[in-house]
């Protein structure tokens, strides 16, 4: 499927057997779905990247990969237009990663914020792997193989993109070529979408990001009943005991979700602030809106069994390889090993 449209490349790591949550959707996937109209989108499940933080117990990566791919399609990525593929099934990613590692300075990798965080999170006695340090080099390979116009990602990925650009420039300079053109960051600046709160709060009573590690997520694949139960127990203004107590929507998870999913959120917020409505009503209305929003996702997901998602991934992987192998030919030529 060749296309004259400019290319876009992006992906998410396959780290959670539950698949993707609302934070993943709002922060990135939502944007990819819209970009399909104007771009040829290459959308990857980054399974190798998942190995960098999984520790000693290898999860069923194949299973997680299929769950993430099912979420991509149920959320609106269209396999007819978009190449949905698996990183490890396009060996050019691993190959280019190796080549790029030769032009990437250690200091640059050690200064990457996510590396520093992950390194500190690892329990003592757990050695920092070569792969974790090289995470951004693999990401640079993911991107540069497709010579994209731009890379749509969540805000937290900006340092990785900057480093990927630098690695592309270093390669061009080192081998006196122009194999890798510059690409743009495509980052949705919306504050709430880039940091969707989870259902709970931290030790200080503040909302915190929706994240698998906090177990505070609403998943795209949750059933209507699961969503209802989660919203039922979601955090609301702690000083709003009775309906007539004033609410503080900025610090209330339910009100934040209303802002994202309810067309009437302005009225709902103002009534909440004035003590004209209670949390029970907010939760009831949110459950309705969110389940309506997720309804089409669920319908699509119900059509996707393992065989049909494998079929989609097979085709997407072939399309991705077609482009990636051409770039690798240019790379080999530039380094004179063709």
Q: Which residues bind ligand TRP (CB under 6 A)?
A: 9-13, 46, 49, 139, 142-143, 151, 153, 157, 160
Q: Is the dihedral of CA 257, 30, 26, 16 positive or negative?
A: positive
Measure the CA–CA gap between 160 and 139, rounded to whole angstroms: 7
The distance of closest approach from Cβ of residue 38 to ligand TRP in the complex, given in angstroms and rounded to an integer, is 18
Question: What minimum distance in Å lies between the beta carbon of 142 and ligand TRP?
Answer: 4
How far apart (Å, rounded) are the C-alpha atoms in residues 294 and 300? 10
* Nearest to ligand TRP of 24, 256 (CB atom): 24
Which uninterrupted H or E stretch holds 40? strand 40-46
> Residue 278: how many CB atoms within 10 A of its CB?
19
Distance of CA 325 to the CA centre of its chain: 25
Distance CA 218, CA 216 (A): 7
Task: Give the pair of three-digit tokens for residue 264.
Answer: 């009437």
Q: Which is nearer to ligand TRP, 160 or 165 (CB)?
A: 160
Q: Please, what is the minimum distance in Å from the beta carbon of residue 11 to ligand TRP?
A: 4
**Residue with smaller CB distance to ligand TRP, 110 or 245:** 110
Within 13 Å and on the Cβ side, how many CA atoms surround 298? 14
Contact 77, 116 (CB under 8 A): no
DSSP state letter for 129: P
91 vs 238, beta carbon nearer ligand TRP = 91
The residue (of 171 and 261) whose beta carbon lies closer to ligand TRP is: 171
* Number of other residues whose CB lies within 10 A of the CB of residue 81: 14
Q: Which is nearer to ligand TRP, 210 or 254 (CB)?
A: 210
Shortest Cβ 66–ligand TRP spacing (Å): 17
Least distance to ligand TRP, CB of residue 228, Å: 29
CB of 134 to ligand TRP, least distance (A): 12
Q: Which lies closer to ligand TRP via its Cβ, residue 143 or residue 312? A: 143
Cβ at position 278, least distance to ligand TRP in Å = 38
Q: Which SS3 state, helix, strand or coil, does residue 124 take?
A: coil
What is the sign, positive or negative, of the torsion defined by CA atoms of 14, 147, 137, 109?
Answer: negative
Find the shortest distance in angstroms from Cβ 60 to ligand TRP: 19
Nearer to ligand TRP by Cβ, of 7 and 49: the residue is 49
Cα angle 214, 220, 226 (rounded to 5 degrees) comes to: 75
**Dihedral (Cα; 243, 267, 206, 197), 10-degree rounding:** 130
Which residues of 135-236 form beta strands (DSSP E)?
150-153, 184-187, 197-201, 207-209
């Amino acid at each position: 499927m060749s296309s004259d449209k400019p290319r876009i490349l992006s992906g998410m790591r396959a780290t959670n057997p539950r698949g993707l949550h609302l934070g993943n959707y709002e922060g990135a996937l939502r944007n990819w779905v819209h970009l399909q109209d104007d771009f040829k989108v290459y959308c990857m499940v980054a399974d190798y990247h998942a190995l960098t933080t999984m520790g000693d117990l290898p999860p069923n990566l194949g299973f997680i990969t299929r769950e993430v791919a099912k979420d991509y399609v149920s959320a609106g990525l269209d396999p007819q237009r978009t190449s949905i593929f698996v990183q490890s099934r396009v060996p050019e990613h691993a190959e280019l990663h190796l080549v790029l590692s030769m032009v990437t300075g250690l200091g640059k990798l050690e200064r990457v914020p996510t590396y520093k965080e992950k390194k500190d999170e690892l329990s003592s006695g757990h050695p920092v792997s070569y792969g974790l340090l090289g995470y951004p080099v693999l990401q640079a390979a993911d991107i540069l193989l497709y010579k994209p116009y731009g890379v749509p990602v969540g805000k937290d990925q900006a340092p990785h993109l900057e480093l990927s650009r630098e690695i592309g420039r270093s390669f061009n300079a080192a081998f006196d070529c122009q194999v890798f053109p510059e690409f743009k960051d495509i980052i949705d600046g919306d504050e709430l979408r880039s940091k969707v709160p989870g259902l709970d709060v931290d030790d200080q009573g503040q909302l915190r990001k929706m994240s698998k590690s906090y177990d505070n997520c609403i998943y795209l694949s949750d059933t209507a009943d699961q969503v209802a139960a989660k919203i039922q127990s979601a955090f609301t203004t702690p000083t709003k005991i009775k309906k007539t107590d004033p609410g503080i929507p900025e610090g209330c998870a339910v009100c934040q979700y209303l802002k994202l999913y309810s067309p009437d959120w302005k009225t709902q917020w103002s009534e909440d602030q004035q003590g004209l409505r209670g949390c029970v009503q907010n939760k009831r209305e949110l459950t309705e809106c969110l389940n309506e929003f997720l309804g089409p996702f669920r319908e699509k997901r119900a059509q996707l069994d393992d065989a049909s998602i494998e079929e989609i991934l097979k085709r997407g992987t072939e399309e991705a390889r077609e482009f990636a192998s051409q770039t690798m030919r240019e790379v080999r030529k530039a380094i004179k090993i063709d």
